[in-house]
Amino acid sequence: MEGMQSIRSVIAGNENGVNDRKIEEILVDQERAGALSKELGWLSHVGERLGFSIRGCDGGEIDALALGRSHGGILARCSERTIPPLDVSEIKDHGFYVMIEGIEDPYNFGYALRSLYAAGVDAIILDERNWMSAAGVVARSSAGASELFPLFTAKPTEAADCFKSRGYTIVCADLDTPHTLEETEIRFPVFLVVGGERRGISRALLDRADLKVKISYGRDFRASLSAASAATILAYEIFRQNRK
């Protein structure tokens, strides 16, 4: 995990019981330690409670471990995170859950999670093939939201069936529908499915939808929005309709 924002999110997610990922060691660029003194003081205090150490090192070691150069001179070695299978008995009665099916890029996935977290989504359902193997990239691009979100895995059709059995409205984003987002009433509880840019949503999942909606464009434009942009627009409209 690279940078203080990701590290803080790992700690918060662990302490809040959202995930079981643990920090094993913090690495700090010795030349930047002075500028990070406040953060290091806090991490030292938290490390005593959670059982991780802080080690100063050469900046080259951090650069070699990091994927980019925006780490700010600090990163954390962490354990894996357990992502449990979806349990129908744990689904909230009046919630808002989202699945992004077929997304192709971990950065785009992270950007989507950032917006969905801000829009008040309760949890994310992941396909069995998901981007959490690139957890550091996802954490950075999601501004830490990936570590704060409850995450569950399920096959897409099984997830839809679980939510339908709990009385949820299954909402799918689909270009081939006359129903526009701004003209469609969508009330909680909602299970929203957004497809990736290339593959979209599978036919089996579309066939289970209670509502199919499309995002209106301001001009003739044949391309689809990125999954992150579509998820943001859809989630915020659903949030707006249900915020009272």
**CATH code: domain of residue 224:** 3.40.1280.10
Claim to verify: residue 227 and residue 119 sit in the same structural domain: yes
* Whole-structure pTM value: 0.92
Claim to verify: residue 209 and residue 227 sit in the same structural domain: yes
Contact 211, 186 (CB under 8 A): yes
Among 216, 222, 146, 208, which Cα is nearest to 178's?
A: 216
Q: Tokens 């987002």: give the residue.
A: 181
pLDDT at 133 (0 to 100): 72
Claim to verify: residue 121 and residue 25 sit in the same structural domain: no
Non-local CB neighbours of 77 within 8 Å, separated by 6+ positions? 23, 24, 25, 26, 27
pLDDT at 11 (0 to 100): 97
Claim to verify: residue 46 and residue 100 sit in the same structural domain: no
Domain presence at residue 83 = no
Domain presence at residue 121 = yes
Cβ burial 210-237 (10 Å sphere, 16+ → b, else e):
ebbbbbeeeeeeeebbbbbbbbbbbbbb
Domain presence at residue 46 = yes
Domain presence at residue 199 = yes
pLDDT per residue as tens, the chain (244 positions): 999 999 999 999 999 999 999 999 999 999 999 999 999 999 999 999 999 999 999 988 998 988 877 798 999 999 999 999 999 999 999 999 999 887 778 898 999 999 999 999 999 999 876 767 788 989 999 999 999 999 999 999 999 999 999 999 999 998 889 999 999 999 999 999 998 766 678 899 999 999 999 999 999 998 888 889 999 999 999 999 999 7
Claim to verify: residue 126 and residue 227 sit in the same structural domain: yes
Claim to verify: residue 102 and residue 173 sit in the same structural domain: yes
Task: Map residue 110 onto helix, strand or coil.
Answer: helix
Claim to verify: residue 190 and residue 232 sit in the same structural domain: yes
Radius of gyration of the chain (CA): 20
pLDDT at 197 (0 to 100): 67
Count CB-CB contacts under 10 A for residue 130.
18
Claim to verify: residue 107 and residue 39 sit in the same structural domain: no
Q: Tokens 């509880």: give the residue.
A: 189
Claim to verify: residue 69 and residue 145 sit in the same structural domain: no
Return the percentage of the chain with pLDDT > 70, whole number: 98
Claim to verify: residue 220 and residue 122 sit in the same structural domain: yes
Provide the domain limits for residue 172.
Answer: 88-242
pLDDT at 200 (0 to 100): 76
